[in-house]
Amino acid sequence: MMMIVLWLCVGGVDLGRAYGDYVGLTNAARGGARYAVLLPSANDDQVKAQVRAEQPSLGLLNSMIAVDRAQADRRTVTITYPFTPFTPLVAQLGNGTTLTLTTWAAMPMMGS
């Protein structure tokens, strides 16, 4: 019985970590979208650098960040992040080893 309780507690900690990372990713995406709107001349690499600077503890790579400029009236930043949980129970919610956390933020262009 004690092992089940311990497993559930560690699983709860894992889910809390995942939620905390998701909030950090959302804030980073929002910061990147804001940067792209305030500095329209910034290229994608500069926007991605801003996203990484918003949450340096997550170790984001350029390949995890996408900047969408397809719509003239807004900028969208999407982050796809592999979260590695401590427990196999939480890992089973994903592909068995990681959970893929995906978030995005969009900001309207100034003056649009």
Residue 15 has pLDDT above 90, yes or no: no
pTM: 0.86
In the sheet that 65-68 helps form, which strands lie side by side, from edge to edge? Answer: 65-68, 74-83, 99-108
Cα distance between residue 29 and residue 26, in whole Å: 5
pLDDT tens-digit series, residues 62-102: 999 999 999 889 999 999 999 988 777 666 666 677 889 99
pLDDT tens-digit series, residues 17-61: 999 999 999 999 999 999 999 999 999 999 999 999 999 999 999
SS3 84: coil
